[in-house]
Amino acid sequence: MAYPPGTDFAGFTLDRVLGTGGMGTVYLARHPRLPRWDALKLLSPELSHDPDFRRRFEQEADLAAGLDHRNIVAVHDRGCDRDQLWIDMQYVQGIDCSEALEQYGPMPAEQALRIVTEVGKGLDYAHRMGLLHRDVKPANILLAESSDPEEPGRVLLSDFGVAKAVDAGHRLTSTGNFVATLAYAAPEQIQAWPLDHRVDVYALGCVLYELLTGTVPFPGNSQFETMHAHLNTAPPRPSEWVPSLPRAIDDVVATAMAKDRDQRFGSCRDLTTAAWAAQRPAPAPMAVTAPVAVTVTAPVRPVPPEPTATPPSTAPV
């Protein structure tokens, strides 16, 4: 149940609900001391009362707070109030990609590639810092409004509060504890295998497909159908939905969503570089032709008459 506007929670003044999800509710909240608005996520009571989840949440929130990148929503603080866990994050004024798709439909290729490129930069940075996201999806990609009409708005990836340390030796997530949204879940997530950064590459490939086509890659009628498709069905081709897309984009999505993670792109940058190359193929080299021989003819001059053998003589008068 949502708190009414004006509620004081952990010193923050709640204004309105920004969104709800499986883990809790996000509020627009006024900071207790600073003159700014924050996004305050309150975890559900069921999760907050789970000691294992509480330990996992606290560790992962601390790791997320160490991230500093223009394409990642900043984590400011975390805590517990009224036996309910909370995490204080940067507030981004704008809409998320899920809302954008719902309002405007599939995106032009250039716009979709720009968004995926910016998200990929944030993910690659987090991977270098030893963190996975594990739940990359349009609803977690925020499109910030720009104060400069000539500059595009920023693209930020949110919800790193459920990020996981890559170091498998310190895993807190129990086997089978499924964190990802099923529509973007890599096969190894569904099978509860140990994860690495390529789980986010797979999800980013799913996001690219959805931004281009307006639909998730595997829109099954049930969770079982969706899981079966992720495990067994070949990645769909964006060009079948949007014929104007180059066929090379199909290959990019297929590589990003390869069942075998060893066959995927090694990084998000590799994915987006290939996507841009597919969208803007290199221009064909100019044809080189042999030079045409030009015959230069000297100007024709009149030929003087042949001289006579014996010059004419004049008889004396």
Kindly state the DSSP code that residue 35 receives in the 8-state scheme.
S
Which of the residues 135, 159, 200, 250 is marked catalytic?
135
Residue listed under structure tokens 């199909």: 250
Measure the CA–CA gap between 216 and 73, rounded to whole angstroms: 24
Measure the CA–CA gap between 159 and 157, rounded to whole angstroms: 7
Sign for the CA dihedral angle at 40, 1, 178, 201 comes to negative
CB 209 within 8 A of CB 238: yes
50 is catalytic: no
Instruction: Report the first-to-last Cα separation within the chain, whole angstroms.
Output: 147
Give the count of beta carbons closer than 10 Å to the beta carbon of residue 259: 16
Question: Buried b / exposed e across 274-289, counting CB within 10 Å, b at 16+?
Answer: bbbebbeeeeeeeeee
Give the count of beta carbons closer than 10 Å to the beta carbon of residue 122: 23
Residue listed under structure tokens 């004006």: 6
Kindly state the DSSP code that residue 168 receives in the 8-state scheme.
G
Known catalytic residues are 135
